[in-house]
Amino acid sequence: MTTNYYTLEELEKAKAELKSCSDFCDRYDGNNPNKGRADLRAAMRRVDSIEEGLKREGKLPYTEQELLNQKIDQAHPKIFGKGKRVEFEGKTYERHPYKTWDDKWKADWKEVT
pLDDT at site 3: 61
Q: What is the DSSP letter of 111?
A: E
Domain segments of the chain: what residues? 8-57, 64-111
Q: What is the model's pTM? A: 0.77
Give the 3-state secondary structure of residue 11.
helix
User: For 82-103, what is the mean pLDDT?
Assistant: 90
User: For 68-94, what is the mean pLDDT?
Assistant: 90
Using 50, 70 and 90 to split pLDDT, how confident is the model at 2? low
Sign of CA dihedral 64, 68, 74, 80: negative
DSSP 67-104: HHHHHHHHHSTT--STT-EEEETTEEEEEEEEE-TTS-
The tens digit of pLDDT for each residue in 32-57 reads 989 999 999 999 999 999 999 999 99
Given a cut of 70, whether residue 1 has pLDDT beyond it is: no
